[in-house]
Every structure is written in structure tokens, then in C-alpha cells.
Amino acid sequence: MKWFFILSGLIACTGKPVRSSCPVKMSPSRVVVRFGDPFSVNCSSPSNQIQSMGWESPYGTGIGRQDGVSSVSLKIDSVTDWDLRPLCFINLLDNNQCSEILSVTVYKMPDSVSMSQPSQMGPMVEGEKYRMQCDIVNVAPVRNLSVSWHKGNKMIYTEAFDETSPSPVNTSSIFNLTAQRSDNGTQIWCEAQLEFSPPVPNLHTIPSKFHEVVVLYSPTFTMPENETLELKASSKIILDCTATGNPMPVYSWHLPNTIQQTKKNKKENQPILAPSIQLPGTYTCTASNTQGTKTKIFTVVEVTRNRTTFAALVGVFLCVAALLFISGFFFVTPEGTFSFSKGSYLRGRPTSSGPV
């Protein structure tokens, strides 16, 4: 049956010699019009062999055959059909006829664009996949619809549709979002747009409402490695257990057994510990939230004996030197009689004052 039509079509085409090029010019050459709006189009021919020409269309003015003209114009006041195919025909003096169908695209902006997610947009969990859905209601033609997904200031996905229906449809775009901690606090939304070439001026994109993403993730230490710290007389040790996480992590510390943990100095919920009593041992910190618990170990060691002795010696030496210097400074008379001070150094400073 199908083949019969195709064959008869071929015979019709070949049997009746149709000019390879129909001398018809449409102006504009194609029409993109909003449902309900007007448009007009001119069909003209440069041929001087025209007997008559006209438009075939169920709507509009300027339809029907007109004799002895070289152009006919069709005017439709309000487009009320989604699938318009007006046809311009020319009857030539040699009894041949040629015709061309005007390409008309009738569009309608969506009534609404909205985003939904099965779990109704509660907080997400890092690493989990979420099926996000963007619903576009009553848009035409869907083959010129483009839906884009945005996260923060980035476009993350676009979708085109290859259905051919010229009349309005409801459709949706699905985007699988894998929640990342960096997504926390960002906004996500979808947008619908009709795309034509050449573009139709003043055709806006329609965005859905924003959704603010909340991503829950387990604590992660800003300095992840276990640490070994050396106890030095000169400086206090600081144990940094800071972790990021959503919700905010809660900290707890386990101090070496040698440190008496009274209620007062029990270190709870603080990310950084600077113990007032400096003792070697193993300090354990845990950071936890609803998504998990992480542990970090600080090993505090005393520096080895040799180095301690050396450091002590250096310390003592420096102290003595300093004492000598200070006493020299304060107790030496301008004449510089104290033998252990460098008189030459101080002689130049007669204003030296001291409790002499």
C-alpha cells in the first residue's frame, strides 16, 4: 500500500514535467510566529511566463487565484493552527504548474517551568546520586525546546528533544546530580528556551525557581596526617584537629593517661588544643557528625637526651652571657673599671645609668 503511493507519487512527478526549479520567491522565506499572532508573507516570481498565481490556505486573506500578477501576499490576522502549510502556486503560460509550501513554525512559550526531585529536595548526602526533574508545561514546538541546568554560575547540562509534535506538549528533562561537598550552599535550577535560527528577538528563557543545595558530608581534617610533635622548652605545643564537615563536626579529645583528667580540664568540643601542662604521650582527637567519625593521632615526644643536654648547655651559656652583659651595662662606671666587661665598648657611653 505504502509502496503504491510512493510509486504513484513518482509517476505523478515524472509523468507531469515539473520544472526543476520553481520560479517562486517567498518573502520572508520562512515564518516563525507565536500562536495567536499575525503574519504576512509575499510570494513572487521573476518569470515573465506567468498566467496566474495564488495562495492555497485554509486561513487568511489573499488566498485564491489571481490572473496576470507577479506577486501575491497572504495575511493571517491570528494564527490558530499549530500545523500551517500555506502553499503558493504559479500557473505558467505553457500550462505547467509549480508550487511551494511556506515553512511556518508556530510556537508557544511554556506555561510553567518547575523543578522537582523524588525526595522533595531535602538535604543530600555526599556521593549519592539524585535524579532531578525539570517539568515544562505546554510548550510548542518541542523540537525547538532546549532545557539547560545551572549550578551556581555554571551551566552543567543541556537537553534537546527530538519529538516532532507541532502542538503543545508537557515534557521533562532529567538530570542526575552526584552530590559533592562543594555543592553545599549553591543554587541549582533549570531553564527552558525556544531556539530558532535565525533567533526570534525578545524570546526570553524561562527559569524555574532556585533550589539551594545542602550536602551532608563526614568530617575531613584540614591537615589529615597523624602528627608527631616535639616538646620544647621554648614553645608550647598546639594540636590542630580542625575538620570540615556538614553538619559542623563535634570534637572530643583523649589525653595521655599521665594527665589527670579532671572535669575542669577535660577538653571537649574544641578543634585546637594547647595543653597547659606539657607532657609527652598520645593525644587522640575525634571529629564526628551525623555522617561519620574521624580520628587523628598526635604523638608528643620529648626531644632526645643529647639534644636536651646540648640545648640546656646552650641555654645556660646564653643566660650567663646575658646576665654578664646586663650587669656590665648597669654596674660599670664610665671609667670602665670592671675587668670582665669590655671597657672600650662602654667607655663611649658616659650616660650609663645604674644603681651604683
Q: Of 68 and 348, which has the nearer Cβ to ligand NAG? A: 68
Closer residue to ligand NAG in complex, CB, 32/113: 32
* Shortest distance (Å) from residue 286 CB to ligand NAG: 12
Binding status of residue 27 toward ligand NAG by CB under 6 A: yes
Helix, strand or coil for residue 192?
A: strand
CB 145 within 8 A of CB 168: no
> In the structure grid, which three cell numbers stand for residue 53, read together?
498565481
Rounded least distance, CB 212 to ligand NAG, Å: 6
> C-alpha cell of 150?
545551572
Compute the distance between CA of residue 206 and CA of residue 110 in angstroms, rounded to an integer. Answer: 8
CB distance 123 to 214 below 8 Å = yes
Decide whether 248 or 313 has the Cβ nearer to ligand NAG.
248
Torsion of CA 323, 329, 330, 334, to 10 degrees: 150
**CB count in 10 Å sphere of residue 281:** 14
CB of 105 vs ligand NAG, minimal distance in Å: 4
Interface residue with ligand NAG, options 14, 154, 225, 356 (CB under 6 A):
225
Nearer to ligand NAG, 9 or 152 (CB): 152
Which of 10, 93, 152, 196 touches ligand NAG (CB under 6 A)?
A: 196
Closer to ligand NAG by Cβ: residue 22 or 32: 32
Alpha carbons 333 and 16: distance in angstroms, whole number: 133
For the bound state, the minimum distance from the C-beta of residue 265 to ligand NAG, rounded and expressed in Å, comes to 25
Residues within window 310-349 making contact with ligand NAG, judged by CB under 6 A: none
Cα distance between residue 188 and residue 124, in whole Å: 13
**Residue 102: all three cell numbers together:** 511556506
Q: Is 33 in the site for ligand NAG (CB under 6 A)?
A: no
Among 18, 33, 35, 40, binds ligand NAG (CB under 6 A): 40
